[in-house]
Amino acid sequence: MILSYFSSLDWRSWDLEHRPVIPEGMAILIDDDLLFEDGPAAPRQASVVNRWLRELPASGAPAPSSWENYARAVKEWAEFLAEHGVGLFDTRERLKAGLSRYAEHRAAGPARSRFAATTWGQHMSILSLFYRWAMEEGFASAEPFTYRSARAVFAGTGREARVNLAVRRTPKPHVTIKYLEPDFTDLFRKGLQGLAPDGNRDTGFAGREMTRNAAIGDLALATG
């Protein structure tokens, strides 16, 4: 499958009455044989994906960089499925099996093919949007994803949300800290020993086993 980009340059030579409404720079997927359909009213999978891509600017994705990312995510997924004899709009059972294999490929496959958890999550979000659209438009009868209900709260207002179970959990920012600044390191060591920032005994500290705690803290700092 070929990824190209639309340009209306010299469109008047295309024997068209009006300029195409396709956005400039829109990502386009083309099968290797350069065909978009197998006959009248028989569009190929790439044609369906292209229609979805053309609607992205009116669906909350106006940036050309997003169009390319969306196209690449679906392209790589479709190509992977094809290698295993699964169609882009196959049955739910076959799509779920393909997703399971794809997840293993992106997590533990060849190094060049692996995705970080955040990249995997982005791809799953894109594919979820694509399949939701394809089902609403009647192109797909099933999707590979399973969801659970969750309640999201923002500014005191709650709403029901669907969580895609295919998305890997990512660590919270506070557990991804790789090092401590020197001044905080000193404060951390003093705190474990029950000392105030000035190095004197903190009379308000009520911890236990401070010597042990300080030793473990020093070990963690020394070994990483």
pLDDT at position 152? 64
Task: Please name which of 107, 111, 113 lies closest in space to residue 167, comparing C-alpha atoms.
Answer: 107
**pLDDT tens digits along 83-116:** 999 999 999 999 999 999 999 999 999 999 999 9
pLDDT at residue 122 in the model: 93
Q: How do residues 176-216 score in pLDDT, each as one tens digit?
A: 556 666 777 777 777 778 888 777 877 777 777 778 888 88
Q: Which is more confidently placed, 192 or 62? A: 62
Contacts of 220 (CB under 8 A, 6+ apart): none
Same domain, 118 and 41: yes
Q: How far is residue 111's CA from residue 88's CA, in Å, rounded to a whole number?
A: 25
- For 183, the domain range is 178-223
Domains of the chain: total? 2
Residue 171 covered by a domain:
no
The whole-number pLDDT of residue 173 equals 58
Cα–Cα distance for residue pair 67/55, rounded to 1 Å: 10
Same domain for 215 and 127: no
- Mean pLDDT of all residues in the chain? 87
Q: Report pLDDT digits (tens) over 112-160.
A: 999 999 999 999 999 999 999 999 999 999 999 998 886 766 656 667 7
Over residues 18-47, mean pLDDT: 90
203 in the same domain as 95: no
Position 170 in a domain: no
Q: How far apart are CA 73 and CA 18, in angstroms?
A: 32
Reply yes or no on whether the pLDDT at 224 is more than 70: no
Give the model's pLDDT for residue 68.
Answer: 95
